[in-house]
Amino acid sequence: MNTNKTWGERITHALIFEALAVALTAPVLSWVMKMPMAHAGALTLMISLVAMTWNMIFNALFDRLERHWRIARTMAVRAVHAIAFEAGLVAIVVPLVAWWLDMSLLDALILDIGLLMFFLPYTFLFNLGYDKLREALLKRRATLNA
């Protein structure tokens, strides 16, 4: 599969990923934490902006390693990708959540583990679907240009 993605494609990928994630998590966070939807929405939006930036950087580095080591995107590689992405994001987001919700780092980590229970499979499935759709579109484009 062609892993040479433009920054425009990376931005599009991140925007779709994060918009769907915010739409799914803000209402649940508001309900679970018993906080106003605006407060939960602002927090998920801040996390989303951090995650979007991390997404583009992480995926660019991952793609570079993938090309350098000629790694195929097997299910195991996809699992490593999702776990590594989320681990990096946890390290960045936990202090932000602790500050925003005025809670300890441990409480923020526990909350983040709850979010991770959603995001780990979400990341895996979203990227699997995105890659399959991208591959189909690239094949269609190649067929039309042939």
Structure confidence by residue, pLDDT tens digits, 127-144: 999 999 999 999 998 899
Tell me if 34 is assigned to some domain.
Answer: yes
Tell me if 116 is assigned to some domain.
Answer: yes
Contact call for residues 26 and 47 (beta carbons, < 8 A): no
Tell me if 2 is assigned to some domain.
Answer: no
Tell me if 1 is assigned to some domain.
Answer: no
* Identity of the residue numbered 125: L
Contact call for residues 107 and 70 (beta carbons, < 8 A): no
The dihedral formed by the CA atoms of 71, 75, 81 and 84, expressed in degrees to the nearest 10: -120
Burial 13-24 (b: 16+ CB within 10 A, else e): bbeebbeebbee
Provide the pLDDT for residue 2: 60
Contact call for residues 29 and 35 (beta carbons, < 8 A): yes
- DSSP code, position 3: -
Range of the domain at 78: 7-145
List helix spans (H) across the chain.
7-33, 37-68, 75-100, 105-145
Tell me if 25 is assigned to some domain.
Answer: yes
Tell me if 17 is assigned to some domain.
Answer: yes
Tell me if 107 is assigned to some domain.
Answer: yes
Please identify every stretch of the chain with a pLDDT value under 70, giving residue numbers as ranges: 1-3
Tally of structural domains, the chain? 1
Q: What pTM value is reported for the model?
A: 0.70
Tell me if 35 is assigned to some domain.
Answer: yes
